[in-house]
Amino acid sequence: MLCKPKYNGGLGFKNLSLFSKALLAKQVWRILVQPQCLLARVKKARSFLFTDILAAKRVGKRDRVNIWNDPWLLGRENNRVSGHEIRSSWTTVNQLMEAETNTWNRELISSLVDEITAARILAIPISSSRTEDTLVWKYEGSRVYIVKSGYRVLATYFIQTNTYSPNEDVYKEFYKALWSLNILEKIKIHNWRLFNNLLPHFGNLARSMLSVDSACPLCKVELEDSNHLLWFCDTLQCVWSHLQVKIPVFEDSLCSKMHFARTFSTADEQQRRIIAISLWSLWYRRNKLIHEGVNFTLQEWPPEEGLIKLNFDASFQRDDRIATAAVIARDSTGEIRGAETYLIVNVADAFMAEARACKRALIFALSMGFQHLVVEGDSLSVIKSIKKKGQDKSVIKVFCLALFLEKVRLNLQAMFKGVVQGFSPTLQMASISDVRGRCNG
């Protein structure tokens, strides 16, 4: 599965077996085009002294190209003359040419093959220099074999010969839509793993005798498997309802995987981001609940009429010193007015990550033209530092962030007509992505 192209459900890794064959074919090609080289002479003496290494397409004088057996017609497919009566009087391609004028004998060709094949033959240019027949690789414009082209041909044939699924076209559209999203790669890989049942959820762990529990820890109702996490979980459906994800109506006979693939493929760009990131966020909160005991709750976010509510959050990776900041803006009706995620590098600690996420929220509000704001986050230290009017002696100042907070505090009234900061201890904001970037500040 990993060696399939991304649009076919894989991750695009090279198939080493096929790649090895493509490399071996390069040696065969060298023997064919350079028959006098040392490698060709040694191989011929040991392995094929009285024959050729293979039969291949030849162009030139055509005196060694068989009309009925050799692949000499132009194009990548159906290069042989087939479906016709073999005339023993006409064996080589040069017999189809007018020797004096060096052109095709149209009358003879029309009498031997059908109209379509005759047109393909007449489209082949004839060499005016009457050079010797040469070998060409039909899958490259240069007509020279390269390993990359050989591997591509082998991989395409391998995929085409696999068992065809009636849902393959729908799944292919889903994969194309997923991998083209402008969100973090780890989120896209999580969705790919969930779609292909490669996550260590309770259902898979129970089948491997690694877990006794099997109920979904989020909704605590049904068995936790890929179908449940992908579609049937009540918590997931509740999140999608809050985020106004549009669920089309499909026939009941479709499986959950097909329901999800069609919903994802028919959604617009922003809806796809919301779906993908909400799945990742729920899995993240599910793991926090199981392994750290962090309770999971859902709450309504709409602010009062006339206000825009900004929720910000950040996840911090201590080993890599990076953080992912997320901002989502909603109006009083609950409609999403905008969202973004940012990858922040060189982050000192979790406090710095939350503070920079707050900074991104204010910059985002300014870029969107929001004037009446409610800014809410789950870091009490950051909210207190912004509200504090006196000198800030918190640890944030040690990390050179107090200067920014002071500037924000002094310039809030100049930037916005009204700003209210709030602390939400049970904030469970999914990092919904509308714009993704990199912030070093």
Q: Do 196 and 156 have their domain in common?
A: no
Q: Do 175 and 220 have their domain in common?
A: yes
CA dist 36 to 25, 44, 63, 131, Å?
Answer: 18, 10, 21, 18
Euclidean distance between CA atoms 410 and 390, whole angstroms: 11
Question: Is residue 302 a part of any domain in this protein?
Answer: no
Q: Do 120 and 258 have their domain in common?
A: no
Confidence class of residue 358 from pLDDT cuts 50, 70 and 90? confident
Q: Do 268 and 329 have their domain in common?
A: no
Of 23-37, 234-248, 401-415, 427-441, minimum mean pLDDT range: 427-441
Q: Do 172 and 154 have their domain in common?
A: no
Question: What pLDDT digit, counting tens, does each position of 43-59 carry?
Answer: 777 766 666 555 434 44
Q: Do 312 and 427 have their domain in common?
A: yes
Q: Do 150 and 262 have their domain in common?
A: no
Question: Is residue 301 a part of any domain in this protein?
Answer: no
Give burial (CB, 10 Å; 0-12/13-18/19+) of 317.
exposed
The domain spanning residue 312 has which CATH number?
A: 3.30.420.10
Q: Do 53 and 122 have their domain in common?
A: yes
Question: Is residue 67 a part of any domain in this protein?
Answer: yes
Mean of the per-residue pLDDT values of the chain:
77
Of the residues 114, 138, 161, the one at which a domain ends: 161
The yes-or-no verdict on residue 76 having pLDDT over 80 is no
Of the residues 263, 292, 321, the one at which a domain ends: 292
CA dist 28 to 31, 95, 198, 422, Å?
Answer: 5, 30, 40, 71
Question: What pLDDT digit, counting tens, does each position of 368-427 carry?
Answer: 888 788 888 777 777 777 666 656 555 544 443 443 444 455 455 445 545 455 545 443
Question: Is residue 138 a part of any domain in this protein?
Answer: yes
The yes-or-no verdict on residue 363 having pLDDT over 60 is yes
Question: Is residue 387 a part of any domain in this protein?
Answer: yes
pLDDT at 174: 92
Q: Do 366 and 398 have their domain in common?
A: yes
Of the residues 161, 176, 201, the one at which a domain ends: 161
Question: Is residue 196 a part of any domain in this protein?
Answer: yes
Question: Is residue 303 a part of any domain in this protein?
Answer: no
Number of domains in the chain: 3
Q: Do 13 and 143 have their domain in common?
A: yes
Mean pLDDT to the nearest integer, 148-169: 79
pLDDT at 428: 37
Question: Is residue 361 a part of any domain in this protein?
Answer: yes
Mean pLDDT to the nearest integer, 131-160: 81
Query: Domain limits at 317?
Result: 308-439
pTM beyond cutoff 0.75: no
Question: What pLDDT digit, counting tens, does each position of 278-287 carry?
Answer: 999 899 989 9
Phi-psi region of 321 (alpha: psi -120 to 50; beta: other; left: phi over 0): left
Q: Do 84 and 140 have their domain in common?
A: yes
Confidence class of residue 300 from pLDDT cuts 50, 70 and 90? low
Whole-number percent of the chain with pLDDT over 70: 78
108 vs 73: which has the higher pLDDT: 108
pLDDT at 175: 93
Q: Both tokens of residue 283?
A: 């899995």
pLDDT at 63: 62
The yes-or-no verdict on residue 435 having pLDDT over 50 is no
CA-only gyration radius of the chain, Å = 33
Q: Do 346 and 272 have their domain in common?
A: no
